[in-house]
Structure 1
Amino acid sequence: MKKRPLPPERPYGMERLLMRCPGQCAVCRAWSHSRVCRDCLQRYGRPVPRCWTCAAHLPVGLGGRESAQCGACLRHAPPLDRTIAALDYSFPWDRLLQLYKFHQAVDLRETLLERLSQALDCSAPDAPDWLLPVPLSPARLKERGYNQSHELARTLARRRQIPCDGNLLLRVRSTAQQAHTPLKDRAANVKQAFAVEPLRKAELRGRHVALLDDVMTSGATLFELARVLRQAGAAHVQAWVIARTPDGETA
């Protein structure tokens, strides 16, 4: 596939200013040159053993094995070839992600991307041909002002030299927010909610694709998108997420 040139990065002006200025750690309020200080990163950002295909926690003894899977994935194989999660969606990352997602705390983007980049470096996934963010509906995008997953994806793609396009996947049906939907109903909530841009399906045929989202809970959204990509001819589909909810919890 011929890779398209990536445009120069243009971070928000306020984000550039905040990145240069020391201030308080967003967690412990200690003086720090980054939004989360080194002590808090060591305390709350340590990697844990995870399932190869859904990133759920695994017992320590299984964590070092390549392709180790949880019981749920062994019983019912998900449509994802691999899932990489940087963090648990728990204190302090749950609050920080809420700030980033709903309150335009764009100064947290660098810290979140650093955690994901570190997880990718440690996991060494196959390099994808495309990095695609989970799309928002037009109404949700208008309400929020930006797609948080696209902001993360375009920056990560630029740094890793992976083509990224926020228009290749479409959300064709508005749905209730997954966070407000019971776990048992989430798969039905997003069923047939996504599509590939009809004129661009050929760009996915036989390709390796990585989906990027901020939080993974039940996996319903990412699983549905993976099914849509496979129907369009994608050969391999991964998911890269900032945070994965601990078993039995909701985002």
Structure 2
Amino acid sequence: MHCQPRLKHEVYIWSKNNQICLICDEATDTAHSICNFCETELPWLMDHCEVCALPLPMAGLTCGQCQRQPPTFKHVATPFTYSFPVDTLISRFKHQARWPLGHLLAHLLGQCLQDRYENAELTRPDCLFPVPMARRRLRERGYNQATMLARWLSQDLDIPCDERVLLRPHETVAQQDLDAKNRKSNLLKAFALAPGAAVKGLHLALVDDVLTTGATANSLARLLIDAGARQVDVYCLARTPKPGT
């Protein structure tokens, strides 16, 4: 009699000995399943907008969009541009349940955030809020990748994570299928706060996988600020470049 459940996805054993790099499949002695060469070659975000993290040609600038229409969130913090191989790693984590890839990227994001806290570039938030997923899509996928990222970041950074405050009660078209203008209208009244949610005076950070136009993050930040939150930042794995660049 077999007592172990049958698992659809691969199971990985994470240890600090005899690790295999999840990108190149070569042996590595690092603790987080990525070799030094592959980590160096990842598309690290360099110069970027001080607000939305849009890649820019020079440091210390604010992009034109953020100058014309400042978003409700204060800062976007992300280590990578959404390009190869990070785009592929995120897609496999998100759509194929390759959770070790997401765990690895969350750890690298956590390292980036910790460095910025220590260098006084960012202040630590009071709590992490994952971007919510609509119920039907959650049932189809079986998990919310933003929630998993927020849990891992919470462990690495020792910051509380609350998965119950932000709700997505209404089904909407997937954001990746829409242009920038329609993304904003698609999100009207898409989100809500849980009854009795206490966010007044708090510094909060939204957690998601990728920031594209920032429409989702801005809608959620507006909801939280209107409810009395003091500041809202955004933490994500990667930032897309401006279309056409």
> What CA distance in whole angstroms lies between the structure 2 residues aligned with 1:46 and 1:179?
23
8 A contact 2:45–2:55 mirrored in 1:
no
> What CA distance in whole angstroms lies between the structure 2 residues aligned with 1:23 and 1:179?
35
Q: After superposition, give the CA deviation of every residue in 1:184-212 in whole Å (9 maximum; x if it has no partner).
A: 31111112100111222xx2011111000
* Offset, 1:97: 0.3
1:104 aligns with 2:101: no
Displaced runs of 4 or more, over 6 A:
none
8 A contact 2:22–2:34 mirrored in 1:
yes
8 A contact 1:87–1:115 mirrored in 2:
no
* Identity in percent: 36
90, 105, 108: which is aligned to 2:83?
90
Where 1:174 maps in the other structure, the secondary structure is coil
Aligned counterpart, 1:175: 172
Residue type of the alignment partner of 2:148: E
Aligned counterpart, 1:53: 51
Aligned residues: 231
Aligned counterpart, 2:217: 222
Residues 120 and 23 (structure 1), Cα distance of their counterparts in 2 relative to 1, 3 Å cut: closer
TM-score with structure 2 setting the length: 0.87
**Which residues in structure 2 correspond to 1:1-251 (within 5 Å)?**
14-15=11-12, 17-19=13-15, 22=18, 24-32=20-28, 34-60=32-58, 63=59, 65=60, 68-124=61-117, 125-200=122-197, 203-248=198-243
> What CA distance in whole angstroms lies between the structure 2 residues aligned with 1:104 and 1:20?
22
Where in structure 2 are there 5+ consecutive unaligned residues?
A: 1-9
8 A contact 2:200–2:230 mirrored in 1:
yes
Residue type of the alignment partner of 1:218: T
Where in structure 1 are there 5+ consecutive unaligned residues?
A: 1-12
Range 34-43 or range 103-112, more displaced: 34-43
8 A contact 2:210–2:236 mirrored in 1:
yes
Larger fraction in helix: 1
Residues 225 and 131 (structure 1), Cα distance of their counterparts in 2 relative to 1, 3 Å cut: same
8 A contact 1:35–1:108 mirrored in 2:
no
* Offset, 1:158: 2.6
> What CA distance in whole angstroms lies between the structure 2 residues aligned with 1:19 and 1:75?
48
Note the aligned Cα RMSD (angstroms).
Answer: 2.2
> What CA distance in whole angstroms lies between the structure 1 residues aligned with 2:15 and 2:103?
8
Residue type of the alignment partner of 1:113: A
